[in-house]
Amino acid sequence: MTTSLNEPPGWVQDAVFYQIFPDRFATSDRIEKPAGIEPWESPPTPNGYKGGDLLGIVERLDHLVDLGITALYLNPIFQSAANHRYHTHDYYHVDPLLGGNDAFDELLAACHERGIRVVLDGVFNHSSRGFFQFNDVLENGASSPWLDWFHVHKWPLHPYGNKPANYGAWWGLKALPTFNTDNPEVREYLMRIAEHWAHRGIDGWRLDVPQEIKTPGFWEEFRDRVRAINPDLYIVGEIWGDASEFTNDGTRFDGTMNYRLTTAILGYVIGDRADQAAILDNNDNYVIDRDIDGVRYADLVDAILASYPPHVHVANMNLLDSHDTARIMSIASNDVASVELALTLLLTFPGAPSLYYGTEIGLEGFRDHDTRRSMPWDEGRWNTDLLTTTKKLIALRNDHPALRSADYRRIDTGNDDGMVTMFSRHGAGETLIVAVNTGDNDETVRPEIGLGSELQSIWGEGTAVNGEFSVPGRSAAIWRAAPATPD
């Protein structure tokens, strides 16, 4: 499978992603750890390490295969002095606590043997205080040959303490000095990093805060260079709002992390069950409206669909939660039905669904560091009913090409204030009808969909008789339309 530079890789629309925060997923006895590692089951802390590593992921790949996962998105893995590793020290070396480059090679090979793609997190807007070139500036001041790699405002620099940093830093965080990407040396350095890991065999880059890089032509060159190495390499940007400027013309990103869909789904399925303490309150692009009915949800989806052409819709990374948000189970105040309804909407929407590790077993976690809890491998602590539902929904998506297509059509239920939303999915000669009822009461609707064919129930307890659809409260149903009979 190969694609042109301007087309998203064909494999993405068929993928089901699993996001792993490496320090918290699994640990392997094959990698030695220092004595100061925190206990696995203790609450996460801002600076502590739990000791998760890449070989731990290798040893748990059977869990992912059994779940139906076909792609991994890994939070940063490069050498760093932070458990999240967004403070990069060395872009060419995997962090020793994760097992180093040899462990990465083993993980990549093990994933590819199982048909699982691997996408890495690229943090190219900023580095860290421990990044060699910035450390040289701290040591040698204006005499450093790397002075123009960063944005030095005046002297002295204050990388620690309460005094002004006097250098450019992401969101003013002293630990994250921003690169001067207008400097050709910096630009070339970052391009070569991207090329290096493309040559090593990765399947994609998830780009951290890419809109922060304003240098004209930077992302266009990035795309050209990595796709010249691997025409099927996926490029997805972390843009929380409308990303059409970065995706639609095919010169920069294939898709975006679709947080607009995230907030629409969460508001619709969770409603007033939402725990306000779990909801982000400092991001205008992450606002959960807790009063969304079926029509309002359909309107929000229409707005998303209007923002992108079909080739972008199938390349967007769709998600319910991540390392940057509270977990859906905590947002939903531990209401399992809300999580199951959200998964239904996620896995029946165009694009690549992405599960944050532990969602499938009901792992909880509030904002900030708590959303990065360690994965519990004691299956007695798992919500096995939720796990079973997740597996079945992923299998349903994998079994029906219509659910992986770009063809999504709103169905007017005829009930302007009901809690049911309906839509159809079309592809590979099949049509599926999806109905979701997030209200507490059973609801019956009679949409004018004009299928003119028999419907076969393939999910849920809803009924469809003589054009009338009935869906129990807090549930979803999916029907397959029988192929039309030739005249």
Question: What is the full DSSP assignment across 395-413?
Answer: HHHHH-GGGGSSEEEEE--
Q: How far apart are CA 155 and CA 165, in angstroms?
A: 9
Give which of 369, 262, 361 is closest to 316, Cα–Cα.
262
Q: How far apart are CA 323 and CA 77, in angstroms?
A: 14
Q: Is 208 a catalytic residue?
A: yes
In the sheet that holds 468-471, the strands lie side by side as: 443-445, 468-471, 463-465
Angle at 346 between CA 341 and CA 350, to 5 degrees: 145
Q: What dihedral do alpha carbons 395, 397, 401, 406 form, nearest 10°?
A: -160
**Neighbouring residues of 366: CB distance < 8 A, sequence distance ≥ 6:** 277, 278, 326, 327, 330
Q: How far apart are CA 393 and CA 389, in angstroms?
A: 6
Question: What is the full DSSP assignment across 198-267?
Answer: HHTT--EEEESSGGG---TTHHHHHHHHHHHH-TT-EEEE--SS--HHHHTTSSS-SEEB-HHHHHHHHH
Give which of 188, 202, 195 is closest to 225, Cα–Cα.
195
Cis peptide, bond prior to residue 156, ω within 30 of zero: yes
Catalytically annotated residue among 238, 293, 340, 360: 238
Q: In Å, what is the CA distance from 120 to each residue of 110, 203, 404?
A: 16, 8, 23
Catalytically annotated residue among 23, 53, 208, 340: 208
Q: Is 448 a catalytic residue?
A: no
Annotated catalytic residues are 208, 238
